[in-house]
Amino acid sequence: MHESDKYWEIKPNTSLLDIKLKENYEYRDLLWLLVKRDFISFYKQTILGPIWFFIQPIFTVLIFSLIFGNVAGISTDGLPKPLFYLAGVVTWNYFSDCFIKTSSVFRDNAYIFGKVYFPRLIMPLSVVFSNLVKFGVQLLLLFAMMLFYGLKGGHFQITWYVLLFPVLVLLMACLGLGLGMVVSAMTTKYRDLAFLVTFGVPLLMYATTVVFPLSAAPERFHNLIKFNPMTPIIETFRMGFLGTGTFSWSMLGYTTFITVVILFLGVVTFNKVQKSFVDTV
Amino acid sequence: MGKIVIKAENISKAYELGEFSTGTISRDLERWWAMMRGKEDPFLKIGEVNDRNKKTDSKLVWSLKDINFEVEEGSALGIIGRNGAGKSTLLKLLSRITSPTTGTIKGRGRIASLLEVGTGFHPELTGRENIFINGAILGMRKAEIKKRFDEIVDFAGVERYIDTPVKRYSSGMYVRLAFAVAAHLEAEILIVDEVLAVGDAEFQRKCMGKMGQVTKDNGRTVLFVSHNVESVKSLCDTAILLHNGRMHENTNLADAIKIYLQQNPENDRGHFVNPNPPVNLEVYFKQAYIKQKGVVTNALFNDAPIDVHCQLQCNIPMKVSLEVIVRDHNGLPLLFGPIGLTQQREHELEPGVHQMVIRLNPPYLAKGSYFLDLIVAETGKRIIDIHESCLGFEIESSFIAASGWSFEHNRGAGAMLLNAFSYFEDELPAVH
């Protein structure tokens, strides 16, 4: 059991910033078990099993190559089309999965939350880590494709920016988590936001440089697209692994700033709501 | 005097009635503003009692009000009260699922609450995987679960199926496994809801044994919430009695149980008042309530007839018969009581209000909740007024004095009288 349970006090209102990091840390085993549960239950009783992790990005990339690459003829910065789209899709998926799944965390777990106490933050964290596993698996697909195009002599190169990869993952996770927590906290009272997220996030993808490179976007839209904190992440990712994209430290700095603010907001609202949400759901 | 491990001071919990979100953003903002300035919630009204039958202006209802109690180390506290008395709310507060509106609960020692067994069980995962998930949700570290793993499996008796997904388990196995995890929590304070009402009789006994052992041998503290007076009696040393969200003055176990049994849950379901009396019906029920042994109550026993007192409004002179249906807690009809079986079939009513008594002589009923349908019919022709499950009653104890034991639902909803004979070929009892 957990040390922090030694002396306890249950009070009506605690301060907004009392997020009990220590207590969360003590429940780390639960976090891993939940991640494992998500992973195992994902492919139980399916024929293809974990292969499903690959099917979704493969088909998305196929469709994108067909529609945006061939029909619409949008530039891919000289990269092989599947490689360009795959890099965008895999990273975007990680962010959007974190965001969407976190935003429904109260509704999805209302039943458990109503029966047992554990630090509620564990649930959104488990979402982020479960998706990290999925992200990792999908990255393998990207690497396999890079190898394939590398042997075929496709035009791409890995640059030093690849060292920023862990930072990018952290930023995506925190951004998705933060936004998701803000929304999840608000949907316990105002359900409308849930609808907004389900159709809004996929649309937001088109305001991010997933299906087009920033350089190919009309100049007047640049600021709008850069305003989206996901754009620098995807651009930097492509820059690191494929060698094309628009990278600037100020853009990445902007994203980091936004992410920190949103994560802070998310943790505070989430923490506020988790105390009494059982009464309203 | 042992050490105090839980101390609840003035805890109250208010719930909001009605709509939660639409149109209340302004109110939310107002409340939020008050909270930000450290003021009290402007929408809390002090002094209202949770009485579900009375409508009040305030949209807030106090589900718990001014609860104070202390629990000593190693003792077992029973929390009893009728449905809606606030038992579940108190449990939720104690187990930190929701926070109190006012007051504090202080405690020492690790706390584990079992409001339900098997929380977080995933049907696709195996018994083994679920033991770990469930244990972790209940607050155990992985290493602790590993250490007690064999014990848990052994207690549940599911060794053979431990690597089978739990969705293939029988419901009995599922519950046994779930309880086993809970029973092996290493917490100093255990909060238990009526989870024991599950599983077969043998497993229930095993669970009760385990609970008793937890307090007596391991010196742990147990808070036990139940309707089952017998289990509370056998397990607990002290009890608190909740009524409409308030606590009965400090009483000892025996007194609390006595008051609980006498408590008249009339305002629950024992009194029926026709909510919208039809003006055009020839005859209809205005209201009804249950009496047993001359006392208005719906906490009933098997040793006396049940009297349903009803008030009928009759608008034209006519012949009617009164009938009832007894339903179980799921609403399943168990017994039909057409009056004509025992006495005159019809009653001639003149226009006006009539007081009538329907006296039921049901067979012995198992302990539990039941509902009554009231029917007034034009004899042999049609039903005029029917109120499905309009009255409810509890069989508090199904103790049958003649046999010296009580029977529960797992043996059937009702008991009948039977006789067994030994006989020889040539003296067979006459069979008709």
Task: pLDDT band for B227, please (50, 70, 90 cuts).
Answer: low
Quote the pLDDT of residue A51: 83
Contact at 8 Å (CB) between B324 and B361?
Answer: no
Q: In this complex, is the C-beta atom of A115 within 8 Å of any C-beta atom belonging to chain B?
A: yes
Q: In this complex, is the C-beta atom of A17 within 8 Å of any C-beta atom belonging to chain B?
A: no
Residue contact B139–A2, C-beta within 8 A: yes
Task: pLDDT band for B147, please (50, 70, 90 cuts).
Answer: very high
Task: pLDDT band for A16, please (50, 70, 90 cuts).
Answer: low
Contact at 8 Å (CB) between B201 and B231?
Answer: no
Residue contact B125–A13, C-beta within 8 A: no
Measured between beta carbons, the chain A residues lying within 8 angstroms of B36 are none
DSSP type of residue A10: E
Measured between beta carbons, the chain A residues lying within 8 angstroms of B144 are 1
Residue contact B142–A6, C-beta within 8 A: no
Give CA–CA dist B7/B223, Å, rounded. Answer: 13
Q: Which tokens sit at A52?
A: 């499903």
Task: pLDDT band for A260, please (50, 70, 90 cuts).
Answer: very high
Residue contact A116–B115, C-beta within 8 A: yes
Count of Cβ atoms closer than 10 Å to residue B374 Cβ = 24
Measured between beta carbons, the chain A residues lying within 8 angstroms of B96 are 10, 117
Q: In this complex, is the C-beta atom of A219 within 8 Å of any C-beta atom belonging to chain B?
A: no
- Beta carbon pairs, A and B, within 8 Å: 122
Quote the pLDDT of residue A237: 92
Measured between beta carbons, the chain B residues lying within 8 angstroms of A30 are 136-137
Domain extents in chain B: 4-109+188-262, 266-415
Residue contact B110–A2, C-beta within 8 A: yes
Measured between beta carbons, the chain B residues lying within 8 angstroms of A5 are 109-111, 139, 187
More confident residue, A264 or B195: A264
Name the one residue in this structure whose structure tokens are 């007192």: B309
Mean pLDDT along residues A69-89:
86
**Substitution target from B22, B124, B225 for chain A, most A beta carbons within 10 A:** B124
* Minimum Cα–Cα distance from B134: chain A residue: A30
Give CA–CA dist B232/B87, Å, rounded. Answer: 14
Q: In this complex, is the C-beta atom of A45 within 8 Å of any C-beta atom belonging to chain B?
A: yes
Helix/strand/coil (H/E/C) assignment for every residue in chain B: CCCEEEEEEEEEEEEECCCCCCCCHHHHHHHHHHHHCCCCCCCCCCCCCCCCCCCCCCCEEEEEEEEEEEEECCCEEEEEECCCCCHHHHHHHHCCCCCCCEEEEEEECCEEEECCCCCCCCCCCEHHHHHHHHHHHCCCCHHHHHHHHHHHHHHHCCHHHCCCEHHHCCHHHHHHHHHHHHHCCCCCEEEECHHHHCCCHHHHHHHHHHHHHHHHCCCCEEEEECCCHHHHHHHCCEEEEEECCEECCCCEHHHHHHHHHHCCHHHCCCEEECCCCCCCCCEEEEEEEEEECCEECCEEECCCCEEEEEEEEECCCEEEEEEEEEEECCCCEEEEEEHHHCCCCCEEECCEEEEEEEEECCCEECCEEEEEEEEEEECCCEEEEEEEEEEEEEEEECEECCCCEECCHHHCCEECCCCCCCCCHHHCCCCC
Residue contact B124–A41, C-beta within 8 A: yes
Quote the pLDDT of residue A264: 93
Q: Which of A19-23, A38-42, B32-36, B61-65 has the lowest mean pLDDT?
A: B32-36
Residue contact B104–A10, C-beta within 8 A: yes
Name the one residue in this structure whose structure tokens are 């943790």: A267
Contact at 8 Å (CB) between B125 and B68?
Answer: no
Contact at 8 Å (CB) between A12 and B102?
Answer: yes
Listed ranges A23-37, B186-200, B323-337; the one with the highest mean pLDDT: A23-37
Quote the pLDDT of residue B267: 43
Q: What are the pLDDT digits (tens) for B349-393? A: 888 899 988 888 878 888 888 888 888 888 777 888 888 878 888
Nearest by CB to residue A189, choosing from B21, B96, B112, is B21
Q: What are the pLDDT digits (tens) for A124-174? A: 999 999 999 999 999 999 999 999 988 888 778 888 888 999 999 999 999
**Topology of the domain covering B4-109+188-262:** Rossmann fold (3.40.50)
Contact at 8 Å (CB) between B182 and B216?
Answer: no
Contact at 8 Å (CB) between B345 and B379?
Answer: yes
Residue B119 above 90 pLDDT? Answer: no
One-letter identity of residue B349: L
More confident residue, A190 or B360: B360
Quote the pLDDT of residue A166: 93
Quote the pLDDT of residue B337: 82
Residue B165 above 80 pLDDT? Answer: yes
Query: Rounded to a whole number, what is the distance in Å from the CA of B122 to chain A's nearest CA?
Result: 8
Nearest by CB to residue B105, choosing from A2, A10, A111, is A10
Measured between beta carbons, the chain A residues lying within 8 angstroms of B137 are 30, 112, 116, 118
* Minimum Cα–Cα distance from B18: chain A residue: A280
Q: What are the pLDDT digits (tens) for B126-140? A: 999 999 998 888 888
Quote the pLDDT of residue A13: 63
ipTM, 2 dp: 0.82
* Minimum Cα–Cα distance from B28: chain A residue: A189
Stated pTM of the model: 0.70
Measured between beta carbons, the chain A residues lying within 8 angstroms of B99 are 10-13, 275-276
Quote the pLDDT of residue A262: 94
Quote the pLDDT of residue A15: 65
Task: pLDDT band for B269, please (50, 70, 90 cuts).
Answer: low
Q: Which of B45-59, B195-209, B256-270 has the lowest mean pLDDT?
A: B45-59
Residue contact A41–B95, C-beta within 8 A: no
Q: In this complex, is the C-beta atom of A275 within 8 Å of any C-beta atom belonging to chain B?
A: yes
Q: In this complex, is the C-beta atom of A117 within 8 Å of any C-beta atom belonging to chain B?
A: yes
Mean pLDDT taken over chain B: 78
Q: In this complex, is the C-beta atom of A12 within 8 Å of any C-beta atom belonging to chain B?
A: yes
Q: In this complex, is the C-beta atom of A30 within 8 Å of any C-beta atom belonging to chain B?
A: yes
Q: In this complex, is the C-beta atom of A11 within 8 Å of any C-beta atom belonging to chain B?
A: yes
* Minimum Cα–Cα distance from B99: chain A residue: A12
Phi, psi of A196 (to 5 degrees): -60, -40
Domain B266-415: give its CATH architecture: Distorted Sandwich (2.70)
Task: pLDDT band for B52, please (50, 70, 90 cuts).
Answer: very low
Name the one residue in this structure whose structure tokens are 């083994």: B128
Residue contact B101–A12, C-beta within 8 A: yes
Residue contact A5–B16, C-beta within 8 A: no
Residue contact A13–B35, C-beta within 8 A: yes
Contact at 8 Å (CB) between A85 and A222?
Answer: no
One-letter identity of residue A273: V
Residue contact A278–B98, C-beta within 8 A: yes
